[in-house]
Amino acid sequence: MILLSRFQEIMNEVFLLLGSNEGDRLNWLQKAIELLCKNVGKVITSTSVYETAAWGLQEQQSFYNLVLKMETIQDVLQLLSSIQNIEHICGRQRTQKWGARTLDIDILYFNCDIIEKETLKVPHPFLAERRFTLVPLVAIAAEKVHPALHKTNEQLLIECSDQLPVTRIDVVLKT
C-alpha cells in the first residue's frame, strides 16, 4: 500500500474547451491559457486552434476553439470558480445564452468522474453533440472513454450528427 504524505497532492486530469468569437479571438485564447497556467495548473498538451461555426445561436461571428489537457490540484468546484473568474477577467458577459463572448471555458472531463451538481455537469452535457468540441478533443485524446456513454471520443465524433464546419487553422498558442 502506498501512503501519500500530507504534503503530496493528488493531481487531477482535466480537459477544457476554450472558445472566443468576440474581439481579438486569438488574444483572448492566449490570455486564457496564461491565466489558466497561473491559477489552475500545468498544461500537458494543447490542440491547434480551430475555426468553428457558432452553435446554438448561429447568427454571429465564428469561434476560435482549442482544447487543453491540464493537471490541477484543484477539485472540480475550485476549478469551476477559477474558470469563471478567468472568464470575468477577460470580459465575459453572460447576457444571452449561446451569444457572442470574449471567452468561454468549458470543463469537458474531470478525471473519469461523472459529476451531477446544480451548477455543474461533467462530462460536459453537450460534448457528444458538438463537432467543435469533438474534433479538437480527438486530436489529443481520441481513445479517452466518455465515462457515462462508454464510447471513445473518436467513436463519439463518428456518430455525431452535428454538421457545422470545424477547420483547423495553422496557429498553436503558447502554453
Q: Catalytic residue among 101, 130, 162, 168, which?
A: 101
30 closest CA partner among 103, 135, 125 = 103
For cell 459529476, what's the residue? 115
- Concerning whether 101 is annotated as a catalytic residue, the answer is yes
- Measured distance CA(50)–CA(31) in Å, rounded: 17
For cell 490541477, what's the residue? 72
**3-class SS string, 30-97:** HHHHHHHHHHCEEEEEECCEEEECCCCCCCCCCEEEEEEEEEECCCHHHHHHHHHHHHHHCCCCCCCC
Q: Catalytic residue among 24, 25, 92, 170, which?
A: 92
Q: Catalytic residue among 6, 24, 106, 131, which?
A: 106
53 closest CA partner among 3, 98, 83, 14 = 98
Q: Catalytic residue among 104, 113, 130, 170, which?
A: 104
Residues in the chain, total: 175
- Concerning whether 168 is annotated as a catalytic residue, the answer is no
10 Å CB burial of residue 122 (0-12, 13-18, 19+) is buried
- Concerning whether 6 is annotated as a catalytic residue, the answer is no
- Concerning whether 130 is annotated as a catalytic residue, the answer is no
Give catalytic residue positions.
Answer: 92, 101, 104, 106
